[in-house]
Amino acid sequence: MDKIVIRGGERLIGEAGVSGSKNASLPIFAASLLTEGENLLHNVPRLQDIQTISKVLKNLGVKVHGEGNTYRIDATEVTNEEAPYDLVKTMRASILVLGPLIARLGKARVSLPGGCAIGARPINLHLMGLEAMGAKIELRSGYVEAKADRLKGATISFDTATVTGTENLMMAATLAKGKSVLQNAAMEPEVSDLANVLKKMGAKIEGVGTSLIEIEGVESLHPTEHTVIPDRIEAGTLMIAAGLTRGNIKLLKCPFRHMETVILKLRETGMEIEPEGEGVRVVGTRRIRSVDVKTQPYPGFPTDMQAQFMTLMSLARGLSIITETIFENRFIHVNELQRMGADIRIQGNTAIIQGVESLSGAKVMASDLRASASLILAGLAADGVTEVSRVYHLDRGYEGLEKKLAGLGANIRRVKEEG
């Protein structure tokens, strides 16, 4: 197992590229199940989660071939309808094959994802929507078993906006008979990127980027070519790295317009963030101001930036309150930040952070993807050496983060850990 070793205190200076979005790539990979022929995808990040979705697709008979950041996915033959437990348990987003499989084959057998470190994360809304479209669903031996002759368009109203739920049902609806309406749909840019791919495949979708999405089912879809949007969460993580180190960096291919809320909050802390050419210039200031944040569905402040923002607030002047409204357990990074000297109290879904003058390097353990990023950020700003273990969480969702940070001047390296 690898660990990341950081000697804190270096100012980040220079330029870094932003990789393609993980959470846009995953549903787009699943969408290839809807077409016969080869889809060509560019700007796909090389990540563990992309390998997992590739394995899920290969297990269904799909041909997946990746070279650099370009993937060719050919689902001409889908020979199997099962996404097995061993794959789904390593990545919940495997559930994204459920909608496309029922739409394409009229049947699917997908393992229930089970527990998750950051919260309960049920899939009841995915199943409710598929049932409304006429699928017969049974839960048996830990699997969702679904059948439908041909799905029928339906009006589906989500009690809670769900990203992968919206994606699953949108994909299913593209091949259903008649019109589907998704009310209170998730508006995340990754949902829109998927919708744009589906439209290129021939799907009829209106309301992309809004909470009301209308899909008129078609008989078949055709393969397409697409360049995945840049990852707004990776970009935000790099911005905070600059803020914490009083850095001065330029992010190339930065998805500025997908990051309005995050950028507003970071500017409130005193950071300077301005578009520059096709990129964004990010400049950190001497002492960070404390700012309150509440996570919300897009266009609100993303839960996937909460842990990283908390690291920034740990070193801010004054008190800040961070409220997590999406996932109930998403404070698992707090104990590790406290071990580095952060002053954080948790009350229910609220974290109260009293900024401290400095953090001190320590051995810490990553517990989920964004928590790992928050610990690496803490290490960049801390006095002395920080060792972050269990970085397989990081490798699920960041493409060579430590290399990008090293390229910006951070003293950071990956070492093999015994055992």
Instruction: List residues binding ligand EPU (CB under 6 A).
Output: 23, 26, 93, 119-126, 160, 162-165, 186, 190, 302-304, 326-327, 369-370, 397
Q: How far is the CB of 219 from ligand EPU (least distance, A)?
A: 29
Please confirm, yes or no, whether 254 is among the known catalytic residues: no
Cβ proximity to ligand EPU, 256 vs 327, nearer residue:
327
Cβ proximity to ligand EPU, 109 vs 121, nearer residue:
121
Cβ proximity to ligand EPU, 90 vs 354, nearer residue:
90
DSSP symbol at 92? G
Q: How far is the CB of 191 from ligand EPU (least distance, A)?
A: 9
Q: How far is the CB of 228 from ligand EPU (least distance, A)?
A: 13
Strand-pairing partners, residue 71, are 41, 66
Q: How far is the CB of 202 from ligand EPU (least distance, A)?
A: 24
* Spatial CB neighbours of 115, under 8 Å, sequence gap ≥ 6: none
Beta strand residue intervals within 1-154, DSSP E = 2-7, 13-17, 38-42, 63-67, 70-74, 82-83, 107-111, 136-140, 143-147
Q: How far is the CB of 216 from ligand EPU (least distance, A)?
A: 24
Helices H, strands E: what count in the chain?
14, 24
Cβ proximity to ligand EPU, 5 vs 186, nearer residue:
186
DSSP symbol at 284? -
Do residues 313 and 320 lie in contact, with contact meaning Cβ atoms separated by under 8 Å? yes
- Within 20-123, residue ranges assigned H as helices are 22-31, 48-59, 85-88, 98-105
d(CA 308, CA 18): 17
Q: Are strands 155-157 and 179-183 parallel, antiparallel or unpaired?
A: parallel
Neighbouring C-beta atoms of residue 418, cutoff 10 Å: 4
d(CA 242, CA 269): 12
Cβ proximity to ligand EPU, 45 vs 355, nearer residue:
45
Cβ proximity to ligand EPU, 290 vs 295, nearer residue:
295
- Among 1, 116, 212, 346, the active-site one is 116
Beta strand residue intervals within 221-269, DSSP E = 225-227, 248-252
Q: Are strands 143-147 and 107-111 parallel, antiparallel or unpaired?
A: antiparallel
**Residues 147-166, buried b or exposed e (16+ Cβ, 10 A)?**
bbeebbbbebebeebbbbbb
Q: How far is the CB of 270 from ligand EPU (least distance, A)?
A: 27
- First-residue to last-residue Cα distance in the chain: 7
Neighbouring C-beta atoms of residue 79, cutoff 10 Å: 9
Cβ proximity to ligand EPU, 113 vs 279, nearer residue:
113
Residues with catalytic annotation?
116
